Amino acid sequence: MFIVNSYVLSVVLCFITMICWGSWGNTQKLAAKSWRYELFYWDYVIGMVLFAILLGCTLGSNGDEGRPFLTDLAQGNQASFLYVLLGGAIFNASNILLSASVSMAGMTVAFPLGVGIALVLGVVINYLGAPSGDWKLLALGVLCIVCAIVFNAKASALMNEGKEQASHSRKGIMVAILAGVLMSLFYRFVVMGMDINNFISPAEGKFTPYGAIFVFSIGVLVSNFIFNSLAMRFPFVGEPVGYGAYFRGSLATHATGMLGGCIWCLGTGLSYIASGQAGPAISYALGQGAPMVAALWGIFVWKEFRGASRSVNTLLLTMFVAFLTGLALIIIAGM
């Protein structure tokens, strides 16, 4: 299987993770023109599972080091399966809430807030579970990103000031906060089912990144029948929607959702692969720089801050500077 043997390459993979995690939401925006996010999410999860299989059968089955994908799955013990499946279920709950918050508050607001909170809590949880890097620089980098979250929230408040949809946006913000808290937990459970210290000769019963991402995706799929079914029956926005509506979607609409799942799965798989060299805390932290990528999409492509005042634009610029500074500190912390 493909294994990363250098810190520099692991950082590169983490940046790809950041781009993927910050970009998959665009497929939801594209589908949302005529498609409910609850319906989109079924395709998203299907795309995730299919890409996890593709990743395992390609990168996970070629090379001279480590275990082949199918062998890795066959040798996993019960504890490893349960940890990774639970990680998938926790992620799914958080991601459904994040998708709902995007529908209510917009990508530029929901992603920085929800994923930013997940970054702060997730780095602490993953560092305590598997310490790696200079914790002082890591903490300083996280602090910079917290500042970026504050700047983004202030810019959002100024944009919505005096508007009728402000209360709708506030609801989306609350949902994004809950999503962020849950999202901070999933990565640690997945790591507990992997042998991150030795991908070349992993411990018996533990998964390599390729087995882990597949089992994780199955956890997402199975839990989706509970979480997304509830979201369809008790939606955050609009009227309840039935399963019949899903089959009335066009091929292009379904393909858009699956593409979103593929993009996210690619980023997550690379993050797991990079964790062997960079460590879980740093791999997770770099990937969760995704809000900056999402904010760029929201500002320059979706025009969510069109007509913003000079003070709002200043806050957004400051947010990006704080994010970049935080990411740089996190990278240095692992050197």
| Lowest-pLDDT range of 128-132, 205-209, 224-228 | 128-132
Instruction: Name the least confident of 67-81, 88-102, 219-233, 252-266.
Output: 88-102
In a domain, 245, yes or no: yes
Domain contains 36: yes
For residues 176, 177, 182 and 188, what is the CA-based torsion angle, rounded to 10 degrees? Answer: 110
pLDDT digits (tens, 9 = 90+) for 302-314: 787 888 889 999 9
Torsion angle, alpha carbons of 327, 329, 333, 335, to 10: 80
Mean pLDDT of 118-143: 90
Other C-beta atoms lying within 10 Å of the C-beta of residue 222:
14
pLDDT for position 288: 80
Q: Is the pLDDT of residue 264 over 60?
A: yes
Which pLDDT band, with edges at 50, 70 and 90, does 168 fall under?
low
- Across the range 116-134, mean pLDDT stands at 88
pLDDT of 107 higher than 70: no
Q: Which residues 6+ apart lie within 8 Å of 129 measured at CB?
A: 188, 191, 192, 280
Listed in sequence order, the DSSP H helices in 24-165 are 25-31, 37-57, 69-75, 78-105, 107-129, 135-160
Count of structural domains within the chain? 1
Distance CA 266, CA 24 (A): 10
Chain segment 47-98, per-residue pLDDT in tens: 999 999 999 999 999 988 889 999 999 999 999 999 999 999 999 999 889 8
- Residue 164 binned pLDDT confidence (cut-offs 50, 70, 90): very low
What is the rounded distance in angstroms from the CA atom of residue 280 to the CA atom of residue 233?
A: 36
Read off the pLDDT of residues 186-200 as tens digits, 9 standing for 90 and up: 999 999 999 998 999
Structure tokens at 59: 């990168």
Task: Name the pLDDT band for 160 (thresholds 50, 70, 90).
Answer: low
Measuring CA to CA, which residue among 232, 226, 176 is closest to residue 39? Answer: 232
The Cα 93–Cα 182 span in angstroms is: 7
Predicted structure pTM score: 0.89
Note whether residue 294 is domain-resident.
Answer: no
Residue 239: C-alpha distances to residues 53, 234, 242, 310 (Å): 35, 8, 10, 38
Task: With H, G, I as helix, E, B as strand and everything else as coil, classify residue 236.
Answer: coil
Candidate from 158-162, 230-234, 328-332 with smallest mean pLDDT: 158-162
- What is the domain range of residue 58? 12-134+163-288
Q: Cα separation of 183 and 102, whole Å? A: 15
Decide if 301 is inside a domain: no
d(CA 305, CA 156): 9
Q: What is the CA radius of gyration of the chain?
A: 19
Q: What's the pLDDT band for 232 if we cut at 50, 70, 90?
A: very high
Whether 59 maps to a domain, the answer reads yes
Q: pLDDT of 16-47, one tens digit each? A: 999 998 898 889 888 877 788 899 999 999 99
Q: What is the chain's mean pLDDT, rounded?
A: 89
Q: Is 150 a domain residue?
A: no
Poorest-pLDDT segment among 75-84, 150-159, 252-261, 305-314: 150-159
Q: What are the b/e assignments for 130-141, b being 16+ CB within 10 Å?
A: eebbbeebbbbb
Calculate the alpha carbon distances from 84 to 137, 215, 234, 261 in Å.
Answer: 29, 6, 28, 18
Percent of the chain topping pLDDT 90: 61
In a domain? residue 213: yes
The closest alpha carbon to 274, from 25, 12, 54, 78, belongs to 12
Kindly state whether residue 145 falls inside one of the protein's structural domains: no
